[in-house]
A and B are shown apart, each in its own frame.
Chain A
Amino acid sequence: MKSTSLTFTQTLLLVEDDAQIRRFLRQSMESEGFNVREVATLADGLVDAGTARPDLVVLDLSLPDGDGKQFVQELRSWSQVPVLVLSARSAEAEKIAALEAGADDYLTKPFSTGELLARVRALLRRAATMRDGEPATVHFGDVEVDRSRRLVTRAGQPVHLTDIEYRILLCLLANADRVVTQRHLLTEVWGQAYLERGHYLRIHISHLRQKLEQDSARPRFILTETGVGYRFMPPANAPD
């Protein structure tokens, strides 16, 4: 799974205003066999996304000509192409806005190219899974989740999950490799009225980890994106 088992060349659209960053990103993406298109502004990005139909968009959130969130919103109105955003640290609000507008994942600058490529591959694989249909059964660690039978087992033994824990798990699995914001999870599992009760979510996530992770303080699959939300990381997609 790790190496690109792609039969056709996939196109990445890079929306980034800094020429040096574009240079090394293009270099490493091309060396991984991707076809790379680059633009420096959001306006060009939208045009290019429409004409070139890329398989994935890498978007810098701090572009001078506007709001990354708006870009994602407009893009999402006609396309489901995966979007990976790049943003500065300590800009949680910006990340959350972009994720809620429909972006799939984010990386904080400065980032490792290896990490970026791993995230890109994960999102592309995810997009392919979405097209082909998801399997009912998901494996991670020694855990098996059979969604068709609502059955969770760990090392062959059934694991008892409460209704809410199971719904959180389903939401995370359905969004594997994406960052799910706290708001998204609260709305999905509890409903709008619970938006102010983030601690409910954190407590149930903690229970889920205790039941499904080897070490709940060092989770490998249900990861915290502090200040933003959570991410389910399938076992195959650990970074290089």
Chain B
Amino acid sequence: MQTHGVDSSSPVTHSHWRRGALRAVLLPSAIALAIWPLSAWLAPANIVMLFLLGVLVIAYYCNRSAGVIAAVLSVALFDFLYVPPLFSFAVNDIQYLLTFAVMLTVALTIGHLTSALRRRADDAEQRVAERAALFELAARLTGSMTRDMCADAVGNFLRDQLQGRCTVLTPDDNGHLHPLRGTTGYLLTQAEQAVAQATYDQATGFDARELGHDDGERVLLALRGATRRRGVLVVAAEESAAPLAGRIELLRAVADLLATALERIHYVEVAAQSDLTVRDERLRGRILAALSHDVRTPLTSIFGLAEAIARSPQLTDPGLRQTAQALQDQAMRLNTMVSNVLDMARLQSGTVRLRREWQPLEEVVGASLRHSEAAIGGHQVELQLPADLPLLHIDAVLMERVLSNLLENAAKYSPTGSRIRLAARDDGDVIEITVDDDGPGFAAGRESELFELFERGVSEGSVSGMGIGLAICKTIVEAHGGSISAERVPPAARDDIALHGARLTIRLPRGTPPAVDAEPEEQP
């Protein structure tokens, strides 16, 4: 089988060559002996034909050099035994020299063509066998449920087809390569491990590399998946085996099949993981909904019962009435807190989907003002909304929460009776909404911390704060593709308005508002 890749240095092909040479000597000799008794009846031309037949047989079954030996030997035997004078290489008839020349040429040509044909047939046969084996490998890889099964399949293939051993290295979460369990057919040296790691780390570059080694050949192949590298395959061949250098294409095919299989397993794992996550989040959503209901029911009772006391005509003690009202306020505040915490959990768990629609900002602002009436009633709210402000692509319910939170925050952190300004402007790509108050502003340098959970700007005790309010604003605004920031605006930088407190700025992408068909004007 190893007639291709003739390599005299290899012991296998060396013995093979000697066997061929021996046959190349024996067969023409046997022919010469067999013809001897019949030589009287056979024409010299037919004797030549019989010798040529021998060369053909040798060239077909042995190799090309055996064919050459057989050709030369056949000419010599013909001359020695059948051309007068017999038993001498001398030639009486000078014409025989032409016969010898033609016979040698024909014999050599036959030998060459035949062995070439034979080699091509062998190659084709081997390729068919390899293809069948590759098919089988592909089938086994497709059926493999684990990475180790993949590596086993590849190991078996390389052992049967190339007499090679292999190790499959796959990366861990940090990108470090490790041999797959049970597939360490070949133990890598530290240097080889380093080369393998470098091969994996390089996003581009070679995908097969030969490593020189004392006791055989090593080939290292990157496993290229569709999206990224999936590992490295190291193949080692013993010195006695056929060289791997000529089989790189086959090895690449194997590496590609293996990479595809590893990638498939990777995505199966990812899918299983995300399925788990989805179920997890559904559960979380249900828990949040139940919690929200269970907490609100007693809160509704507390609020309503306190209100019942406060409204009761029998209650004449003004102190008690105040207590009942305070109870109501506290219940409402607890409700705001619970709502914020639950909404934050819901937003963060990803169970909330934005219901974005094109909204006029004025309407959302109006709804926020009405919703927060109780909390901001003690302040004067100035609105600066340009009449030509475009529609915003927002979830109105969530954006109302943002504006309510900002307005309530502004009211909470500024003196009663002071002004709050809500302004908007069209900045080309961005719509900017600002809420200014006339309070003390934020501590300098801590503006971005404000939006972290449970962070409060000022550490005063008299005003209750809920850092989660701003954290929710940030989450909602960012879900809309916008940003929110806080700053303390010095009085000098203020233009027309003498507010010198905190400024919160929301920036929302402007988007492309839909065209609205003009309505035909009709007189009423």
Contact = CB atoms under 8 A, between A and B. Distances in A.
Q: Do A and B form a real pair? A: yes
B143 interface: no
Interface in A155-172: 160-164, 166
Nearest to A111: B300
B23 to A, nearest CB: 88
Contacts of A110: 296, 299-300, 302-304, 331-332, 335
Contacts of A89: 296, 339
A98 to B, nearest CB: 16
Given A25-B304, A162-B519, A227-B397, A202 B524 contact: no
A203 B516 contact: yes
Contacts of B304: 20-21, 24-25, 28, 110-111, 113
Given A25-B304, A227-B397, A217 B359 contact: no
B335 to A, nearest CB: 5
A216 B362 contact: yes
Contacts of A191: none
Interface string B310-340: 0101000000000000000001100100010
A224 B363 contact: yes
B516 A227 contact: no
Contact of B363 (A21, A28, A164, A202): A202
A28 B308 contact: yes
Interface of B: 292-293, 296-305, 307-308, 311, 313, 331-332, 335, 339, 343, 346, 355, 357-360, 362-367, 369-371, 383, 385, 391, 396-397, 400, 513-514, 516, 519-524
Contacts of A150: 524
Contact of B297 (A18, A90, A151, A204): A18
Given A20-B301, A114-B307, A224-B366, A92 B397 contact: yes
B106 to A, nearest CB: 89
Contact of A113 (B292, B307, B397, B519): B307
Contacts of A199: 357-359, 391, 513-514, 516
Interface in A74-125: 88-90, 92, 109-114
A219 interface: yes
Interface in A1-50: 18, 20-21, 23-25, 27-28, 31
Nearest to B395: A227
Given A90-B343, A162-B521, A205-B363, A20 B296 contact: no
Contacts of A202: 358-360, 363, 391
B308 A226 contact: no
A18 B522 CA distance: 54
A147 to B, nearest CB: 11
Contact of B519 (A23, A28, A152, A164): A164
Given A62-B293, A112-B307, A223 B370 contact: yes
A231 to B, nearest CB: 11
In this complex, the member of A18, A112, A198 whose beta carbon has the largest number of chain B beta carbons within 10 angstroms is A112
Nearest to A17: B297
In this complex, the member of A24, A198, A226 whose beta carbon has the largest number of chain B beta carbons within 10 angstroms is A226
Given A20-B305, A112-B303, 7 more contacts: A88-B296, A110-B296, A152-B524, A198-B357, A202-B358, A206-B363, A227-B396
A216 B383 CA distance: 11
B385 A217 contact: yes
Contacts of B300: 18, 21, 109-111
B301 A24 contact: yes
16 contacts: A18-B301, A21-B300, A21-B301, A24-B305, A27-B308, A28-B307, A31-B313, A90-B339, A90-B343, A109-B297, A110-B296, A112-B307, A202-B391, A217-B383, A223-B370, A227-B396
Tell me the interface secondary structure of chain B in the complex: helix
Contacts of B335: 110
B292 A88 contact: yes
Contact of B369 (A23, A111, A205, A217): A217
Contact of B308 (A18, A113, A162, A219): A113
Contact of B365 (A21, A92, A205, A217): A217
Nearest to B523: A160
B311 A114 contact: yes
Contacts of B513: 199
A218 interface: yes
Contacts of B346: 90
A150 B523 CA distance: 10
A166 B296 CA distance: 40
Contacts of A166: 524
A36 to B, nearest CB: 14
Given A24-B308, A199-B359, A203-B516, A217 B301 contact: no
A25 B303 CA distance: 11
A215 B107 CA distance: 113
Nearest to B391: A199
A66 B62 CA distance: 90
Contacts of A23: 305
B311 A28 contact: yes
Contacts of B514: 199
Contacts of A152: 524
B370 A113 contact: no
4 nearest CB pairs, A to B:
A20-B301, A199-B358, A227-B397, A110-B300
A137 B437 CA distance: 44
A224 B364 CA distance: 8
Contacts of B367: 224, 226
Contact of A88 (B293, B522, B523, B524): B293
Contacts of B522: 162-163
B363 A227 contact: no
B524 A226 contact: no
A20 B311 contact: no
